[in-house]
Structure 1
Amino acid sequence: MNTERIDQDKIPKKTLSSGEKIPSIGLGTFGSDKYGAAEVAKAVYGAVKFGYRLIDCAQVYQNEAQIGEVLEQLMREKVVKREELFIISKVWNDMHDKVHIACRQSLKDLRLDYLDLYLVHWPFRNYHAPGCDVNYRNPDAKPFSVDEYMETWRQCEELVEKGLVRYIGMSNMTIPKLEAVLPLCRIKPAVLEMELHPSFQQPELFDYAVSHNMLPIGYCPLGSPSRPERDRTKDDVVDMELPAVVNAARAHGVHPAAICLKWAVQRGQVPIPFSVKEHQYKSNLTCITEDPLTEEEMEAIRLEDRNCRLIKGQVFLWNGAKGWEDLWDVDGKITGWD
């Protein structure tokens, strides 16, 4: 393994609807609650030096200011040029009516003149303070509203028109919600970010995104084995323990995590694994540049889908539901998460 720097020509690329090529893997930055913002920023610095060019950020992660410092340092040291990076940020739920303010704050914190991609983080408005204890009975939470969502989206479109953002996208949407809002968009979403991993493949939503020219970006591409015990349920599956993943790892002589990432990239999505450990983020990038999975291995992993969503509790917080049966959809009907 080249432990100094990966040749950019070796990193597979994905194509946006505009025709622009972007890296097929990025570095996630959600993790300051466990490791601290400075540690996450340090990982960004090392990852970019090694060869990462896509960095997935968000205002709610509470580390954009620290990441901005290292991005500025990397460009000052001529490790990378701004145009070689693809930086993502997201508007948080409490700023849906103040998207311009949120975006400009992210730009200030990240020390950038523009963002490559700006996402509506979640479709529901919510007003809890980032970092506070989760309140699953938040009285300020509201059901999904097409009108409110489109008010938010219009502001995102204005960011593109003002040159503050190059592309805009959606995150954590469902097909009914997408069918309601996509016809109303002047600027179509370039990507759809969603939970994607071998035990939660979301094939219908994945195919829907692709058919509507939205590049799928997958968070939790290795499952979420390090999340707190309070967030786990008896039905959770750790992807790196799935038989097809383990068998492929043995056949290729790599860690099961590498198999999850190879599968994601070959399937057609952009995984954004998070790690502050140097050997891990280097391995995560290196593994997709060599020794691809066979068609048989890809099919075996496809058949491992358990429909096991890991990011569950957040749904209750962001739409005011009292239980799974009380989740609201686009038309006000109680239809469940989908």
Structure 2
Amino acid sequence: MTKMMKLGNENEIPAIGMGTFGSDRFTPAQVAEAVEGGIRAGYRLIDCASVYGNEKEIGEVFRKLTDEGVVERKDLFIMSKVWNDMHRDVKAACQKTIQDLQCGYLDMYFIHWPFPNYHAPGCDVDARSADSRPFSIDEFCDTYRQIEELYEEGLVKNIGVSNMTIPKFEEVLPKLNIKPAAHEMELHPCFQQEELFNYTKAQGMLPIAYMPMGSPRRPERDIDPNDIADLELPEMRQIAENHGIHPASVALKWAVQRGQLPIPFSTTPKNYQSNLQCIEKDMLTEEEMKKISTLDKGNRLVKGQVFLWEGAKDWHDLWDEEGVIVQ
């Protein structure tokens, strides 16, 4: 039986999921093969997104495994996200995702980024769209309301948001009819986002952690020479040694024990099986948890430069670091 967590609305969700963002390094077929192996190994939560360009292939896997009786649809928790170019036509985006994934409905549908700033997949870090613009409260609420309608229709069972900030939340939460059940955000030992993490929990949303190990294999365009490798920190290595495990398992245990749901990505059977199993036993001690809480370096890995609008200074403007929405 998979360990479960509670969403903000009390619905249950598996405590660890399988990511499907193969960055620019894996083909859709390779990601789909990993999803098949993952489900056979016991994963029940799969985190998808239309922009990853592999939902069709993953859908074939879902159909195959349900046809074979390996898993029933009701036992899978399938998540996807509306991409930035479809904020004004969310229903069409959602229906295409459901059709591609061959899953009938989505267990959770996210707004992938809180603004409709679009960029072509695999573009260079300096790429900018002439149509990009700052965050708009009205536009965000319009996009969210479209997902609320999908919820009313039963196409979406839970609503999620992603890459939000406290100032953005403060403006939009009072205007929403259905509170988001989860907030997908970057969380790993060197980027703990304590204030936003605590705010997310306090507002009744489950934090879902992308890049839970610090993602050494993210797209080249996102790699900065100053980035810190979480899994190579001596403290992480020492804790791993204490337990006779890989530092990646330490990062995942820490995530689950802290109260966030990690969605690691791997195409290697040994790794994704170990990721799944490590949260079930031999958890970290209170002392080890405290030690990891001191490792935060504010090291954001997904900076989002490609979403900047004309007039924005740099990627810091996307994250409202001064406590106000940057326009």
Structure-1-length-normalised TM-score: 0.92
Give the alignment of 1:81-230 within 5 angstroms.
81-230=72-221
Give the share of equivalent positions with the same residue, in percent. Answer: 57
Decide whether the 8 Å contact of 2:167 with 2:324 is kept in 1: no
CA distance in 2, matches of 1:167, 1:284: 25
Give the alignment of 1:48-87 within 5 angstroms.
48-87=39-78
SS at match of 1:124: coil
Please point out which of 228, 239, 248 is paired with 1:248. 239
CA distance in 2, matches of 1:139, 1:264: 38
Decide whether the 8 Å contact of 2:253 with 2:279 is kept in 1: yes
Q: Which residue of 1 aligns with 2:222?
A: 231
Q: Deviations over 1:64-110 (max 9, x none)?
A: 00000000011001111111010000000000001001000000000
| Structure 2 CA distance for partners of 1:32 and 1:79, relative to 1, 3 Å | farther
Q: Which residue of 2 aligns with 1:298?
A: 289
Q: Please list every run of 5 or more consecutive structure 2 residues that lacks an aligned counterpart in the other structure.
A: none
Please point out which of 5, 8, 13 is paired with 2:4. 13
Decide whether the 8 Å contact of 1:41 with 1:67 is kept in 2: yes
Post-superposition offset of 1:57? 0.1
SS at match of 1:94: helix
| Structure 2 CA distance for partners of 1:325 and 1:279, relative to 1, 3 Å | closer
Q: Which residue of 1 aligns with 2:307?
A: 317
Corresponding letter in the other structure for 2:182 = V
CA distance in 1, matches of 2:195, 2:220: 29
Please point out which of 35, 40, 64 is paired with 1:44. 35
Decide whether the 8 Å contact of 2:126 with 2:305 is kept in 1: no
Decide whether the 8 Å contact of 1:26 with 1:54 is kept in 2: yes
| Structure 2 CA distance for partners of 1:325 and 1:70, relative to 1, 3 Å | closer
| Structure 2 CA distance for partners of 1:245 and 1:74, relative to 1, 3 Å | same
Structure-2-length-normalised TM-score: 0.95
| Structure 2 CA distance for partners of 1:326 and 1:302, relative to 1, 3 Å | closer
Decide whether the 8 Å contact of 1:126 with 1:142 is kept in 2: yes
RMSD: 2.1
Decide whether the 8 Å contact of 2:82 with 2:110 is kept in 1: yes
SS at match of 1:289: coil
| Structure 2 CA distance for partners of 1:206 and 1:319, relative to 1, 3 Å | farther
CA distance in 2, matches of 1:86, 1:201: 25
Q: Which residue of 1 aligns with 2:278?
A: 287
CA distance in 2, matches of 1:25, 1:328: 26
| Structure 2 CA distance for partners of 1:140 and 1:165, relative to 1, 3 Å | same
Post-superposition offset of 1:133? 4.3
CA distance in 1, matches of 2:136, 2:326: 14
Corresponding letter in the other structure for 1:262 = K
Post-superposition offset of 1:333? 6.5
Decide whether the 8 Å contact of 1:262 with 1:292 is kept in 2: yes
Post-superposition offset of 1:20? 2.1
| Structure 2 CA distance for partners of 1:83 and 1:202, relative to 1, 3 Å | same
Post-superposition offset of 1:184? 0.3
Q: Please list every run of 5 or more consecutive structure 1 residues that lacks an aligned counterpart in the other structure.
A: 1-7
Decide whether the 8 Å contact of 1:116 with 1:166 is kept in 2: yes
Post-superposition offset of 1:228? 4.4
Q: Which residue of 2 aligns with 1:257?
A: 248
| Structure 2 CA distance for partners of 1:258 and 1:116, relative to 1, 3 Å | same
CA distance in 1, matches of 2:40, 2:139: 41
Post-superposition offset of 1:199? 0.2
Post-superposition offset of 1:222? 0.6
**Aligned residues, how many?**
326
| Structure 2 CA distance for partners of 1:308 and 1:71, relative to 1, 3 Å | same
| Structure 2 CA distance for partners of 1:70 and 1:318, relative to 1, 3 Å | farther
- Greater shift, 262-271 or 123-132, is seen at 123-132
